[in-house]
Amino acid sequence: MYILANWKNSLSLEDSKGLADGLYSRFIQQYHNINIVLFPDDVSIATVSLIFDSVSMVSVGAQDGPLGANTTLTGSISLSNLGKFCDYVLLGHSERRITLGETNEMIARKATLAIDVGVIPVICVNKEDGTEIDPHSGLKAQLESILNRIDSRSKFVIAYEPIDAIGTGISADPKEVKKIAGIIHETIFLSRKVKGSPHIPVLYGGSINDKNIKSFLSLEGIDGVLIGSAGLTADNFLRIIEKASDSQYLK
């Protein structure tokens, strides 16, 4: 099971270090079968990664990856730093799709580069706000763009984050999330009928907290969650881990 925390650009380096130290000192090592991935901002990645160097259940990821192997893209993390400090990279978050105009093609290019340096992409997808799911919806196009470019034996993760559930305190309807997780798994299955294809975990994100997490972890087809604001304090995040560690959710 996956518990991912996207710290966005909410924390200073000092705050990121303080949060990582706080989590490190209170993590109980018996949380087997939970993959915790922390996504600090680029300035804090090396510091946070060092703190969890010896903790196998905690990985660190970047919030975005480079678009190409070239070394002259101002504002981008280098491919070598991505490969050195990160096990995961978050790609295609709706905040970036909307604010920076990131396209499916750019996201797929970043994903293939990340895989080349041994980093697992976590690709965020959403349904277009307010539209029904249909074969031409944003969700299908987002998935197909990735599936067409990534080798069938490569591992990645999909995070379904409906835009209207992000940062609003109003999470999506679990019934709807279950339905969409089913569509995502089916789309992936149909395009990757290759022996040896790894299981592609599907996560839900959007206003997750310690009160509602169980209703998402118990859903068929959901392998974990991507948390935003509830991951910014050690107390809140540890409460979530505690709930998630209930063995019935450990898929």
Positions touching ligand 13P (CB under 6 A) are: 6, 93, 161, 166-167, 205-208, 226-230
Rg (CA), the chain: 17
Cβ(16)–Cβ(40) below 8 Å? yes
* Residue whose CB is less far from ligand 13P, 192 or 238: 238
Q: Is 161 a catalytic residue?
A: yes
CB 154 to ligand 13P: min, Å: 22
* Residue whose CB is less far from ligand 13P, 56 or 223: 223
Name residue 29's amino acid: Q
CB 63 to ligand 13P: min, Å: 9
CA gap 41, 62 in Å, rounded = 7
CB 144 to ligand 13P: min, Å: 22
CB 216 to ligand 13P: min, Å: 12
CA gap 7, 229 in Å, rounded = 7
Q: Is 199 a catalytic residue?
A: no
* Residue whose CB is less far from ligand 13P, 56 or 227: 227
End-to-end CA distance of the chain: 6
- Of residues 93, 95, 102, 185, which has the active-site annotation? 93
CA dihedral 187, 189, 193, 198 (to 10 degrees): 130
Task: Using CB positions, name the residue nearest to ligand 13P.
Answer: 228
* Token pair in block for residue 139: 């969700």
* Residue whose CB is less far from ligand 13P, 90 or 146: 90
Q: Taking Cα atoms as reference points, which of 220, 216, 221 lies closest to residue 244?
A: 216
CB 156 to ligand 13P: min, Å: 16
Which residues neighbour 69 within 8 Å (Cβ) at sequence distance 6 or greater? 79, 113
- Of residues 102, 161, 176, 186, which has the active-site annotation? 161
Cβ(161)–Cβ(205) below 8 Å? yes
CA gap 170, 175 in Å, rounded = 14
* Residue whose CB is less far from ligand 13P, 143 or 208: 208
Q: Where are the alpha helices (DSSP H) in 5-103?
A: 13-26, 45-51, 79-85, 94-100
Give the catalytic positions in this structure: 93, 161
